[in-house]
């Protein structure tokens, strides 16, 4: 049988494509928001309610899908959830008003919530820890690429058909194409027919290097047990106070630019720049942390260093309230999203760094759920404050909260008695 060299990076590319599709589905509504607002006479608060419906389901889904994926495995779990959200994305073309859009977005959020716990779990299965930063950067960069490519595709489809309904059908169908590829390519490294014996041994040896017992023989830590660990809270807070800033930009950027007096057509080229910058940030974060580890820095210290620099970079978002020209405004958002993506890549990687394989998706899901709850509150406040005042107070707040996230990660994610007893991995 022929073996594929460095098969794990093909797996990483597959996870990247999943994230691209995931974000293109959710960006469809964000890009069409100005058009739909006019057609249905929505206020910003109305639009916020649709986003909140998505976030409620997304938060609940993160809590539920994490243990489900740890139980049934990556292949079965992602197959089910991608089929679910792709079906919903296509059916959104049938929406006819505020309530139906909210209902479809709720179901979309429920399905899409599995992507990050599932991809993080796949990384923990397939990649040695020295490479996991790069692997997380690769799949997480799909969010930036999806957010950048999505507006161009969505607007082209809208102008081609002259209506928004076919846009949801075509973009939503991409998930089914990915699913066919995934079912063909993805298996665990223990059973994959294409993997070479050398690569299988490399992956399994790294996984077993610092654990005294086989991972399958290790008891699964319960939710209550995980919540007693400070590492869990560091990850939860780190994700909960950085993700809302990203979602502020992905969900509201088109409306924010319109509030500054720019039309959708004249900003379409500027629209993708912050997302392309975020893509660069993913690889900067993963690359810098891997380089620091290669030079002898500890895994935990390398991850935290990137988180700290990223949090400081995000705080520059406050400068956007002083800027009126499109070029400079876009540049400020680009710096903020680049910094966010670098820090986010590290926070996403922490569950695989700290926990044994059978708890990775669960902890990742807990962080995602917490981020979802905070994002719900932030989304509602964004709608109300932008309707009554402006986007400026929101942008100032978005520049402050990442610094709190940095403090939590630095203080809580560290070796302790749980590490020394083998309950979690050394970092």
Question: What secondary structure, in 3-state letters, does 244-257 show?
Answer: HHHHHHHHHHHHHH
pLDDT given at position 2: 54
Q: What is the pLDDT of residue 356?
A: 85
The reported pLDDT for the residue numbered 347 is: 92
The predicted structure's pLDDT at residue 103: 96
Report pTM: 0.71
The pLDDT of residue 254: 74
| Residues 104, 138: Cα–Cα separation, whole Å | 29
Structure tokens given for 119 = 């991809």
What is residue 186's three-state secondary structure? coil
Burial of residue 241 (number of CB atoms within 10 Å: 0-12, 13-18, 19+): buried
- What confidence score (pLDDT) does residue 120 get? 83
Model pLDDT for residues 137-192, shown as the tens digit of each residue: 888 888 878 877 888 899 899 999 999 999 999 999 999 999 999 999 999 888 88
314-349 tens-digit pLDDT: 998 888 888 888 888 888 999 999 999 999 889 988
* Count of other CB atoms within 10 angstroms of residue 301: 13
3-state secondary structure of 416: coil
Burial of 420 (0-12, 13-18, 19+ CB in 10 A): exposed
User: Cβ(279)–Cβ(144) under 8 Å?
Assistant: yes
Q: Provide block-wise average pLDDT over 10 residues at a time, the chain (427 residues).
A: 76 94 89 90 89 88 82 90 95 94 95 88 85 82 82 90 95 96 92 88 73 53 87 94 87 79 70 83 87 88 94 90 85 92 89 84 85 87 87 91 95 90 84
- Alpha-carbon distance values, 301 to 90, 236, 296, 313, 423 (Å): 44, 18, 10, 19, 20
Nearest-angstrom CA–CA distance, 318 and 328: 13
Q: What is the pLDDT of residue 99?
A: 94
């Amino acid at each position: 049988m022929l073996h594929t060299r460095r098969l794990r990076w093909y797996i990483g590319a597959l996870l990247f494509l999943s994230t691209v599709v995931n974000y293109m589905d959710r960006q469809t509504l964000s890009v069409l928001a100005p058009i739909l607002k006019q057609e249905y006479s929505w206020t910003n608060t109305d639009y916020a309610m649709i986003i909140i419906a998505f976030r409620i389901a997304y938060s609940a889904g993160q809590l539920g899908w994490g243990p489900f994926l740890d139980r049934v495995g990556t292949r079965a779990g992602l197959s089910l959830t991608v089929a679910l959200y792709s079906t919903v994305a296509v059916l959104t073309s049938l929406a006819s008003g505020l309530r139906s859009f909210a209902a479809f977005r709720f179901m979309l959020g429920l399905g899409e919530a599995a992507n990050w716990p599932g991809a993080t779990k796949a990384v923990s299965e397939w990649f040695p820890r020295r490479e996991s930063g790069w692997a997380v950067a690769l799949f997480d960069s799909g969010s930036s690429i999806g957010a950048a490519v999505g507006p161009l595709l969505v607007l082209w489809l809208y102008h081609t058909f002259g209506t928004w309904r076919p846009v949801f059908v075509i973009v939503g169908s991409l998930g089914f194409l990915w699913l066919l590829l995934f079912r063909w390519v993805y298996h665990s490294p223990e059973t994959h027919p294409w993997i070479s014996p050398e690569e299988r041994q490399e992956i399994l040896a790294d996984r077993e290097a610092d654990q005294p017992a086989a991972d399958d023989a290790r008891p699964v830590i319960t939710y209550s047990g995980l919540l007693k660990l400070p590492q869990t809270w560091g990850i939860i807070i780190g994700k909960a106070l950085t993700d809302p800033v990203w979602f502020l930009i992905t969900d509201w950027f088109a409306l924010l630019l319109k509030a500054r007096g720019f039309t959708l057509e004249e900003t379409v080229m500027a629209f993708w720049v912050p997302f392309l910058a975020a893509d660069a940030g993913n690889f900067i974060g993963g690359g810098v942390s891997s380089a620091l580890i290669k030079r002898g820095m500890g895994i935990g210290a390398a991850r935290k260093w990137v988180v700290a620099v990223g949090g400081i970079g995000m705080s520059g978002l406050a400068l956007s309230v002083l800027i009126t020209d499109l070029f400079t405004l876009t540049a400020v958002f680009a710096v903020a999203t680049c910094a966010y993506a670098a820090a986010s890549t590290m926070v996403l990687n922490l569950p695989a760094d700290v926990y044994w394989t059978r708890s990775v998706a669960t902890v990742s899901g807990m962080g995602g759920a917490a981020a979802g709850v905070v994002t719900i509150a932030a989304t509602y406040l964004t709608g109300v404050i932008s309707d009554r005042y402006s986007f400026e107070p929101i942008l100032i707040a978005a520049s402050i909260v990442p610094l709190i996230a940095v403090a939590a990660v630095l203080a809580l994610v560290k070796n302790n008695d749980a590490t020394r007893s083998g309950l979690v991995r050394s970092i």
